[in-house]
Amino acid sequence: MLFQTAKQPTELKITHLNKVKDQRKHQLLAEMGDKKSLKSSLKKMIVEKAKEAKAGKKAKADKRNVFVLDFHGDIKASHVHQLREEISVILATANKGDEVVIRLESGGGMVHAYGLAAAQLARIKDAGLTLTVCVDKIAASGGYMMACVADRILAAPFAVVGSIGVVAQVPNFHELLEKHDIDVDVFTAGKYKRTVTMFGKNSPEDKEKFQQELEETHQLFQDFVTKYRPQLDLNQVATGEHWYGEDALKLNLVDELATSDSYLMTLMAEQQVYALHTRTKPTLAEKLGFAHAAQVMVNTAIDKLPDALLKLENSKLPMVKK
């Protein structure tokens, strides 16, 4: 890959979807015993290939290519590392006029992580390629930040779209610690280096500053959306609410109601469609299952954390009198 690091080597798999579609069609016809349709389909495919060979390079150059990428986002947008590699490969290969289709699924997450993911998609448009985002299930918050970069957004009728808002929640254990005579000292240099904290007492000034930072982030989000979709009425859609596909279309959050499958089938009738998939190569520990075992232990500990905190709340710790 272009920009992989030695510590995280990746490998790229490319699938020619037109060929996969034809192979599966012929396989099904063979299983059905429909020899006539199978023969006709194979003859048509041979004729088309002969025409392409006769037309030569010119006909091939006139055809647009379509590249399909998948992005399944978690709270940290972890897949952005693969996304940037896939986009770099496409930009090094594609011609102007080619199209990139992103099958996007994400409920959002960290601002800086999804900001980087959206910036990666912007590289596609800057290179003069057409960018289409398909949302089959959900593209909300940071997911919609990515989607709005596209020239067109397609959504399934019940896909969740929108949530142009910012949220942050911080648990505070100050009263619990104070009850058991446990002090927490926070040392900072800079007036606003630390505002709200999990273990110290949060003053009204701290909370006000934190809220101000959220409002500023929300404004940046709105400005970003406006840049790519100026037709939106932000007073109506930048409330943090989400909508299903039908209503999202009425609000101009999406441009068309369609599944990614139907859109790709339409493209394959005229264009050559290639799906790219990058994955990080598994380490020796992962191959042996050690990493999975460690993750199970961590998940178990996290599941037990609420019970442990409840026991701490109800227990009577020994007191040392002065």
Catalytic residues: 141, 193
Three-state SS across 111-174?
Answer: HHHHHHHHHHHHHHHHCCCEEEEEEEEEEECHHHHHHCCCCEEEECCCCEEECCCCCCCCCCCH
Structure tokens that stand for 233 in this block: 């009425």
Is residue 241 classed as helix, strand or coil in its secondary structure?
coil
Say how many C-beta atoms besides its own lie within 10 A of residue 183's C-beta.
8
Structure tokens that stand for 143 in this block: 């997911």
Question: 53-82 burial, b if ≥16 CB within 10 A, otherwise e?
Answer: eeeeeeeeeeebbbbbbbbebeeebebbbb
CA distance to 45, 62, 112, per residue, from 134 (Å)? 29, 25, 23
Where do the DSSP E strands lie in the chain?
Answer: 10-16, 65-73, 99-106, 130-140, 152-155, 160-162, 242-244, 256-257, 272-280
CB under 8 Å to 207, separation ≥6 — which residues? 195, 196
Closest CA to 144 of 203, 222, 70, 80: 222
